[in-house]
C-alpha cells in the first residue's frame, strides 16, 4: 500500500490545536464519553468489572469517539484514510492493553505510568514482527503527542499557581533554571547532539515525561530520541521514589524539607506522591505543591525553547543581519504551544469553577489516552537497536550526572527555604 504524500489543508501543529479545542468544546458542552474502568486487583475484578458488558461498551464508544477525531486529523493532513482505518484500531487495542497493565493495583503501587507499557508493547511487537512500511508511515505519533499537549494546558490553572506558595514557586524557579543549564552543559561536554541534550535537560529539570514530550514537540524532535529519554525518566523514578525517603530519614530532615526535596527532585508526579506518602502528611503536601510549581513552568519553558530552537537552527533562512526574521520565527514556531497556552487561559479565566470541576477529570483521561496512543506508535516504529545502541552511553551518563546534580541542588534549596 503506497503512502499518500499530498499537501495538507493545515499544518500538523494547527491540526493539533483544532482537534484539541474540538475535544475541549465537546467536553465542556457535556457530550464527553464515559471513560472505561481499568483499575483491578485480581481475576474476579478483571472479569466482573473490566470485561463487563457495560465497560466493554464504554471502550467501544471511546474507540468510536477518538477514531472520529483522529480520522479528522488524517483528512486535514491529507493522509491515506484507508491506511489510517487499518492501523488505528491496532494502535488503540495495544493502548487499551497498556492501560489495563497500568490499572493493576500492584503496578499502581509502583506508580508506573501507562506510557511505559504502551511503549514497551509497541517495541515488543515491532521487534518480534516485521511491520510493513505502509503501516509505519500511517502512524501519527507527533500529532497525537501535540493533541495531548494542547489538552495538558487545561490542567494549568493560574489560581492554582498562586496557591503553590511563594517558597514553592521560588524553589521551582531556582531548581529548573540551574538544573536545566547544568544538564545542558554536561551533555554538551559529552558531545551529545543538541536535540537530545535539550530533551534531557528539560526532563531532568522540570517534570519528567511531560517536559520531555513538550520539548520534543517544541523542537520537532526525533521520536526515537524522545522514547529513549522517557525510558530513562521512568526507570530512574522508581529507585528515587523508594530511596530518597529513606535517605531523608537517615539525615533526620524535617518533613517540610523532605517534601520539598522529593517534589523538586523526582521527575514524575505519581512517584512524588508515592514517596511523599512514605514520609508523612506534611511531606506529601509540600512535595505536591513543589512538583505542581515545577509543572506550571512547562508552558513557559516550551515557549522559550521553541523560540531558541527556531532562532539558532534556521541558518538557511537568515535575514540581512545574519539572524532569522520575525516571519521565519513565526513560521517555524510550534503552534501547538499557542494551543497549550490558550487552553490554560480558557480554563483559568474563561470558564466557571463549577464547569471546570465537571470536565477536568474527563479531559485528564482523554489527555492520557492521546499520550498512550503516541507512545504505542513510537514503539511500533522503533527497533531495540535504535534505543540501546552504543551511541546512547553518553546521553545516559549525561542524564545520570544531571540527575545527581538535581538531587544535591534541590536538597540545598529546600533546606534553605523550608527549614
Backbone φ, ψ for residue 39 (5° rounding)? -85, 130
Q: How confident is the model at residue 3 (pLDDT cuts 50, 70, 90)?
A: very low
Identify whether 7 is part of a domain. Answer: no
What average pLDDT does this structure show over 23-44? 91
Report the C-alpha gap between 78 and 384 in whole angstroms: 31
Identify whether 190 is part of a domain. Answer: yes
The mean predicted confidence, pLDDT, of the chain is: 84
Which range of 56-70, 246-260, 339-353, 372-386 scores highest in mean pLDDT? It is 56-70
* pLDDT reading at 97 higher than 70: yes
Per the structure, how many domains does the chain have? 1
- Determine whether 49 is exposed, middle or buried from the number of CB atoms within 10 Å of its CB (0-12, 13-18, 19+): middle
| Torsional class of 330: left (φ above 0), alpha (ψ -120 to 50), beta (otherwise) | alpha
Identify whether 3 is part of a domain. Answer: no
Give me the helices (H) in 269-392, please.
Answer: 269-279, 281-295, 298-312, 326-332, 336-345, 353-380, 384-387
Position 224 scores a pLDDT of 77
Report the C-alpha gap between 231 and 34 in whole angstroms: 30
Cβ-count burial 360-397 (b if 16+ within 10 Å, e if not): eebbebbbbbbbbbbbbbbbbbbeeebbeeeebebbee
Identify whether 90 is part of a domain. Answer: yes
Q: How confident is the model at residue 288 (pLDDT cuts 50, 70, 90)?
A: confident
Position 289 scores a pLDDT of 77
Position 111 scores a pLDDT of 65
SS3 content of the chain, % helix, strand, coil (to 5): 80, 0, 20
DSSP string, 9-74: SS-HHHHHHHHHHHHHHHHHTT-PPPPPP--BSSHHHIIIIITSHHHHHHHHHHHHHHHHHHHHHH
CA-nearest of 234, 193, 192 to 213 is 234
Cα-based distances in Å from 201 to 72, 196, 301: 35, 9, 11
Position 366 scores a pLDDT of 94
Q: Which domain holds residue 89?
A: 12-418
- Rounded to the nearest 10 degrees, the angle between the axes of helix 223-250 and helix 114-128 is 140
What is the end-to-end Cα distance of the chain in Å, rounded? 64
* pLDDT reading at 139 higher than 50: yes
Report the C-alpha gap between 291 and 401 in whole angstroms: 21
Position 317 scores a pLDDT of 46
Residue 141: Cβ within 10 Å count: 23
What average pLDDT does this structure show over 340-362? 90
- Rounded to the nearest 10 degrees, the angle between the axes of helix 281-295 and helix 255-265 is 30
Classify the C-alpha dihedral 151-18-24-381 as positive or negative: negative
What average pLDDT does this structure show over 264-289? 78
Report the C-alpha gap between 177 and 175 in whole angstroms: 6
CA-nearest of 47, 50, 48, 81 to 67 is 81
Q: What is the pLDDT of residues 162-211, one digit of tens each?
A: 665 677 778 888 988 999 999 999 999 999 988 889 999 998 988 777 78
Which range of 105-109, 178-182, 306-310, 315-319 scores highest in mean pLDDT? It is 178-182
Cell representation of residue 49: 468489572
Report the C-alpha gap between 28 and 347 in whole angstroms: 11
* pLDDT reading at 370 higher than 80: yes
Identify whether 172 is part of a domain. Answer: yes
Q: What is the pLDDT of residues 252-264, one digit of tens each?
A: 999 889 989 998 8
β partners of residue 185: none
Q: How confident is the model at residue 2 (pLDDT cuts 50, 70, 90)?
A: very low
Identify whether 301 is part of a domain. Answer: yes
* pLDDT reading at 50 higher than 90: yes
Position 23 scores a pLDDT of 96
Position 336 scores a pLDDT of 81
pTM of the predicted structure, to 2 decimals: 0.77
Amino acid at each position: 500500500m503506497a503512502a499518500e504524500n499530498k499537501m495538507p489543508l493545515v499544518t500538523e501543529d494547527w491540526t493539533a490545536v483544532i482537534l484539541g479545542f474540538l475535544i475541549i468544546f465537546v467536553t465542556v458542552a457535556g457530550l464527553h464519553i464515559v471513560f472505561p474502568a481499568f483499575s483491578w486487583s485480581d481475576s474476579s475484578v478483571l472479569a466482573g468489572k473490566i470485561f463487563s458488558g457495560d465497560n466493554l461498551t464504554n471502550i467501544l464508544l471511546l474507540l468510536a469517539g477518538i477514531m472520529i477525531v483522529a480520522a479528522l486529523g488524517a483528512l486535514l493532513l491529507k493522509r491515506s484514510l484507508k491506511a489510517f482505518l487499518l492501523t488505528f484500531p491496532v494502535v488503540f487495542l495495544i493502548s487499551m492493553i497498556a492501560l489495563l497493565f497500568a490499572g493493576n493495583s500492584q503496578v499502581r503501587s509502583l506508580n508506573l505510568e501507562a506510557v511505559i507499557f504502551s511503549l514497551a508493547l509497541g517495541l515488543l511487537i515491532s521487534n518480534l514482527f516485521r511491520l510493513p512500511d505502509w503501516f509505519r508511515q500511517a502512524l501519527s505519533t507527533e500529532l497525537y503527542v501535540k493533541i495531548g499537549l494542547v489538552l495538558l494546558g487545561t490542567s494549568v490553572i493560574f489560581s492554582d499557581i498562586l496557591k503553590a506558595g511563594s517558597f514553592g514557586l521560588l524553589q521551582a524557579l531556582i531548581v529548573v533554571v540551574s538544573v536545566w543549564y547544568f544538564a545542558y552543559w554536561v551533555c554538551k561536554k559529552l558531545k551529545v547532539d543538541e536535540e537530545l541534550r535539550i530533551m534531557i535537560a528539560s526532563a531532568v529539570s522540570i517534570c519528567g515525561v511531560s517536559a520531555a514530550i513538550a520539548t520534543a514537540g517544541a523542537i520537532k524532535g526525533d521520536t526515537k530520541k524522545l522514547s529513549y529519554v522517557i525510558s530513562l525518566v521512568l526507570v530512574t523514578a522508581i529507585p528515587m521514589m523508594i530511596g530518597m525517603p529513606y535517605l531523608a530519614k537517615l539525615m533526620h530532615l524535617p518533613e517540610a524539607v523532605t517534601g520539598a526535596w522529593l517534589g523538586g527532585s523526582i521527575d514524575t508526579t505519581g512517584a512524588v506522591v508515592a514517596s511523599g506518602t512514605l514520609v508523612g502528611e506534611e511531606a506529601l503536601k509540600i512535595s505536591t505543591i513543589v512538583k505542581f510549581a515545577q509543572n506550571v513552568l512547562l508552558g513557559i519553558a516550551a515557549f522559550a525553547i521553541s523560540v531558541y530552537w527556531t532562532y539558532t537552527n534556521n541558518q538557511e533562512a537568515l535575514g540581512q543581519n545574519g539572524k532569522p526574521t520575525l516571519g521565519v520565527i513565526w513560521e517555524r514556531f510550534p503552534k501547538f504551544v499557542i494551543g497549550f497556552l490558550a487552553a490554560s487561559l480558557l480554563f483559568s479565566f474563561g470558564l466557571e469553577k463549577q464547569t471546570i470541576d465537571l470536565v477536568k477529570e474527563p479531559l485528564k483521561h482523554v489527555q492520557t489516552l492521546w499520550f498512550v496512543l503516541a507512545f504505542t506508535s513510537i514503539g511500533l516504529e522503533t527497533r531495540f537497536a535504535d534505543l540501546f545502541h552504543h551511541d546512547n552511553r553518553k546521553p545516559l551518563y549525561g542524564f545520570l550526572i544531571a540527575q545527581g546534580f538535581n538531587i544535591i541542588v534541590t536538597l540545598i534549596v529546600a533546606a534553605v527555604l523550608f527549614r
